[in-house]
Every structure is written in structure tokens, then in C-alpha cells.
């Protein structure tokens, strides 16, 4: 089997060194030791964000990706940087609300009946987290990392080096039903406590702002804290920028197993050979628990499948990203295209495209928009979100192996939280105190 090393390791292993050179190495021992070689498993948005900050800190970085960069959930998502999304999915009333919608066949949620013990345990734990106290605790943790990621995205994208149709226009939540429109006041009051509240927009003003909407809408709330971009462009452009900074990318390179040495990892074995590293970051999205099986690390992350349809812009295209409240789906317009996205399906690891779920996206958009579809359709897509039952990401050192970092479980917000996650991972690897409280994202909470 091939043994691949980073350039520094190759120098030490493959060359016979002159004595003077050895002295020189001896003198620079500390400098050599402080240079970190890091392997990141997973080339999604979380993997790229980790690579970005690590390269900036002077580390050598190699990404191991089983398919191609940005081919997972980071490809066809809705592209929202939803910094106002402070309220966790598991909140009081979520379970009863979804059960009622399931009975009426209007729920965007589908749970495939299964005796899978992991799925049953996850669902039970999710239901138990739907309490007021968890909502308040999780909101505090989410707010910190959302706000942190917002500042980091602002610096990253203001340079205009990464081309991704990025816009800071806010997001409009649109309501069909008057009662739901009024009830949103309470949700907004909660967001206001975090200075993440939206502006209420009455029907007439909303129709003037967004003439693409149908006339029978009740009203909307515009949240200026939310931005949007085109995810596939972000991934392609960021990859290019990081490659120029020295990122090494191994595509079609599945992880086979870890090279375990006591309580640390010496490297990884992959289908392309062995790679050594000082640190390993697991950023394999929904597949992370599968990849960690060898280490007997039980990570409660389930794949939560979502769908999207990408098209050319319709003639009457909305100018803001829209969240269609009663349909639980998103409409994202970009300069270069248009996407409908949503649904949450717990049906294991598969990429089957359900015609029913795709047609639900179309009928959802048809209920709100005069011209819901663009022509031609460019892509029907599904992707797996890495879902934790408490709706908080996992960003921590592995309890079993000191040089293994875990960065996953970002659920519906992986794009939004990418910069904050990448910076935290980088600080931890460089033995620096992260700039925000990372306790809510620790592995300890699952014990």
C-alpha cells in the first residue's frame, strides 16, 4: 500500500541529512513541532471552512473526500445564511404540531417506519428535548455561534474573492393564514430578545415589495439578519481559493480506517493509501457516525433528507429569499438561478428522489407564487442533513483520541454555521481558547 506524507514528513523520511543540517533541525525543533499537519475527512462546507482557518494559521491541510468536493448536503441546499435562526427545532409544541400536520397530510416531515434502535432512541430523545428549558438553553448556544459565524462570513465574503451570488437582502417569511401571521408576533418577540427580530409587513406593502407573490397572502415578516448565496458556486470558488493557498485535495478517496496508536491517531488508511497527520478532523456530515464506528464513538447524528429543485429564474421572480410558512419550504432567488427546497425525511442513508416530495415542493410554491417555476429545470436533488436530537452541532475533541476533532451535526444550519465552526476547530487545534463558549457543542452532553 502507498504511504503518503506531507512534504515535511517526506523530507524527514526519505532524505539522508548532512550533520550540519541535523543541528539546524535541532535548533529549529520547536518551530518544526508547532507546524501542524491536519487531515480533514469530508469535503463539505464544514470541511472547507476548517481548511480555510487552518491554512491561514500556517497548518498543512489535506482533505479526504469519498466523492467530490461539495457533493454532499453542501451542494443543493437553500443557500440561506440564516443568522436569525436562534430557536431550536425541538421546542414546546413541535411534536404535537407535526403529529397534527401528519394526520392532515400537510407535514413536510416523513419518518419511515423502522425498528432501527438508533432512530427510535434519537426520536425519543428529540421529543424529550421539546421543553421550554431546552429551548432557552439551546437558543443561547445557537445565538453565540450564529452571531460569531455572521461576523466571520462578513469578513470572508466582503473581499469579493469568493464568487457565489452573495446578497444581504434579509429573508421574508410569508403567511397565507391570518392567524399564523398574527401568532408569529410571539416568535418575533423571542427573536427580539436576541436583537434578531424581523419587521412586520402588512399585505399591501408586501405585495408592492414582492409582486411575484399571489394576492391571497396574509402578510409577512422581513428579517434583515439573514443573507443568502448560491451554495454550489460557494463550494467551487472557495475550493479554488484554498487550493491556491496550498490545500491538498484527495477526491474519490474513501476513509477505510484510522491508524490508532494508543490514545491518539497516527493517520488514516484510505482507498488511495495511507496518510499521516498530527490532527484529524471528522467533518463527514451525516456519514460521521458511520466513519467513527471503528473508534466505538457513539455519535447520535441521523441523516435528515431534504430535497431541492433548481431552475432558471422565472419571469416573475421574487427578489428576496422566501420562507413559505405553512409549507415549511424555502424559495431562493439568485442572479444566476432559482431554487425551491425543503422537507425532512428520516429514511436512512439513501439518495432516492421521491416524486411525491418533489411535487410537494412544486405545489407549495404554487400556493404562494404567481409564477412558481422557472424553465428549464436544471436539477432535482436530495441531500442528507446531519441531525442531532438537540439541534446543536457537535464541535469538540474526541473523548477517546486526543488528536481527533469532531465537527458535525449542523442539521438545517450547516452552511450558516460553517465559518464559526471552522474557526473554533482551528483555535482548538492550535491550543488557543475559542472566542465563544463551546460548552453547548461538546460531546459530554450525550453521556
Residues engaged in binding ligand FAD (CB under 6 A): 41-47, 64-67, 71-74, 77-80, 82, 254-255, 283-287, 291, 306-308, 341, 383, 385-386, 408, 410-416
Shortest Å, Cβ 268 to ligand FAD: 9
179 SS3 class: helix
End-to-end C-alpha distance for the chain, whole angstroms: 38
d(CA 298, CA 344): 23
Closest distance to ligand FAD from the beta carbon of 303 (Å): 9
Q: Which of 85, 112, 84 is nearest to 391 (CA)?
A: 85
User: Rounded to 5 degrees, what are φ and ψ at 334?
Assistant: -125, 165
Side-chain-side CA neighbours of 251 within 13 Å: the count stands at 8
Least distance between ligand FAD and beta carbon 304 (Å): 7
Q: How far is the CB of 235 from ligand FAD (least distance, A)?
A: 8
To ligand FAD, the closest distance from the beta carbon of 121 in angstroms equals 22
Q: CB nearer to ligand FAD: give 66 or 218.
A: 66
CA dist., res. 254 & res. 41, Å (int): 9
E strands present in 254-320: 255-261, 264-270, 273-276, 279-282, 301-311
Q: Which residues pair with 404 in a beta bridge?
A: 280
Our CB check for ligand FAD shows the closer of 79 and 220 to be: 79
Beta carbon nearer to ligand FAD, 60 or 79: 79
**CA 82 from centre of chain:** 11
- CB nearer to ligand FAD: give 77 or 218: 77
Helix ranges (DSSP H) in 292-376: 355-368
CB of 203 to ligand FAD, least distance (A): 26
Within 8 A by CB and 6+ apart from 307, the residues are 341, 342, 343, 353, 354, 357, 358, 361, 380, 381, 382
| Interatomic CA distance for residues 227 and 150, integer angstroms | 9
Q: Is the dihedral of CA 135, 141, 146, 147 positive or negative?
A: positive
223 closest CA partner among 165, 166, 184: 184
- Distance separating alpha carbons of residues 408 and 415, to the nearest angstrom: 11
In whole angstroms, the minimum distance from the beta carbon of 416 to ligand FAD comes to 4
Measured from the CB atom, the residue of 65 and 391 that comes closer to ligand FAD is 65
Query: By C-beta, is 411 or 440 nearer to ligand FAD?
Result: 411
- 293: number of Cβ within 10 Å: 11
CB nearer ligand FAD, residue 94 or residue 310 = 310
Give the contacts of 194 (CB within 8 A, at least 6 positions apart). 86, 139, 143
Min dist CB 132 to ligand FAD, Å, is 25
Min dist CB 193 to ligand FAD, Å, is: 22
The least distance separating ligand FAD from the CB of residue 63, rounded to whole angstroms, comes to 9
Which residue stretches of 277-417 are H helix?
288-291, 355-368
Output 9 or 382, the one with its CB closest to ligand FAD: 382
Q: To the nearest whole angstrom, how small is the minimum distance from the Cβ of residue 212 to ligand FAD?
A: 19
In contact, 425 and 407? CB cutoff 8 Å: yes
Given the complex with ligand FAD, which of 45 and 365 has the nearer CB atom?
A: 45
Q: Which CB sits closer to ligand FAD, 55 or 284?
A: 284
CB 226 within 8 A of CB 83: yes
Q: For ligand FAD, give the closer residue by CB, 74 or 403.
A: 74
Amino acid at each position: 500500500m502507498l504511504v503518503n506524507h506531507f512534504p515535511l514528513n517526506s523530507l524527514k523520511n526519505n532524505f539522508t541529512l548532512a550533520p550540519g543540517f541535523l543541528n539546524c533541525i535541532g535548533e529549529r525543533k520547536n518551530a518544526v513541532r508547532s507546524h501542524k499537519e491536519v487531515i480533514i475527512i469530508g469535503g463539505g462546507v464544514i470541511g472547507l471552512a476548517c481548511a480555510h482557518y487552518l491554512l491561514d494559521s500556517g497548518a498543512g491541510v489535506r482533505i479526504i473526500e469519498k466523492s467530490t468536493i461539495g457533493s454532499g448536503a453542501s451542494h443543493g441546499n437553500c443557500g440561506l445564511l440564516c443568522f436569525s435562526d436562534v430557536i431550536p427545532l425541538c421546542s414546546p409544541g413541535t411534536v404535537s404540531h407535526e403529529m397534527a400536520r401528519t394526520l392532515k397530510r400537510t407535514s413536510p416531515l416523513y419518518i419511515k417506519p423502522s425498528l432501527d434502535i438508533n432512530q427510535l432512541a434519537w426520536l425519543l430523545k428529540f421529543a424529550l428535548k421539546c421543553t421550554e428549558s431546552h429551548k432557552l438553553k439551546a437558543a443561547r448556544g445557537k445565538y453565540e455561534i450564529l452571531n460569531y459565524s455572521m461576523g466571520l462570513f462578513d469578513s470572508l465574503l466582503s473581499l469579493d474573492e469568493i464568487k457565489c451570488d452573495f446578497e444581504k437582502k434579509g429573508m421574508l417569511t410569508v403567511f397565507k393564514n391570518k392567524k399564523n401571521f398574527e401568532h408569529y408576533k410571539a416568535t418575533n418577540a423571542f427573536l427580539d430578545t436576541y436583537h434578531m427580530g424581523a419587521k412586520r409587513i402588512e399585505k399591501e406593502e408586501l405585495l408592492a415589495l414582492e409582486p411575484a407573490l399571489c394576492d391571497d397572502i396574509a402578510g409577512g415578516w422581513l428579517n434583515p439578519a439573514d443573507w443568502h448565496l448560491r451554495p454550489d458556486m460557494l463550494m467551487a470558488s472557495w475550493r479554488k481559493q484554498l487550493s491556491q493557498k496550498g490545500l491538498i485535495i484527495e477526491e474519490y478517496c474513501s476513509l477505510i480506517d484510522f491508524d490508532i496508536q494508543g490514545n491518539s491517531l497516527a493517520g488514516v488508511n484510505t482507498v488511495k493509501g495511507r496518510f499521516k497527520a498530527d490532527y484529524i478532523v471528522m467533518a463527514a456530515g451525516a456519514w460521521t457516525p458511520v466513519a467513527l464506528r471503528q473508534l466505538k464513538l457513539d455519535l447520535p447524528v441521523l441523516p435528515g433528507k431534504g430535497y431541492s429543485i433548481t431552475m432558471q429564474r422565472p419571469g416573475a421572480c421574487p427578489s428576496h429569499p422566501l420562507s413559505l410558512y405553512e409549507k415549511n419550504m424555502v424559495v431562493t432567488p439568485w442572479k444566476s438561478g432559482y431554487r425551491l427546497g425543503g422537507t425532512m425525511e428520516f429514511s436512512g442513508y439513501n439518495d432516492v428522489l421521491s416524486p411525491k416530495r418533489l411535487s410537494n415542493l412544486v405545489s407549495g410554491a404554487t400556493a404562494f407564487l404567481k409564477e412558481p417555476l422557472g424553465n428549464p429545470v436544471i436539477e432535482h436533488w436530495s441531500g442528507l442533513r446531519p441531525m442531532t436530537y438537540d439541534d446543536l452541532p457537535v464541535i469538540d475533541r474526541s473523548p477517546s483520541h486526543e488528536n481527533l476533532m469532531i465537527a458535525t451535526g449542523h442539521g438545517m444550519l450547516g452552511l450558516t454555521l460553517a465559518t464559526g465552526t471552522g474557526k473554533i476547530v482551528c483555535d482548538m487545534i492550535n491550543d488557543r481558547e475559542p472566542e465563544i463558549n463551546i460548552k453547548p457543542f461538546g460531546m459530554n452532553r450525550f453521556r
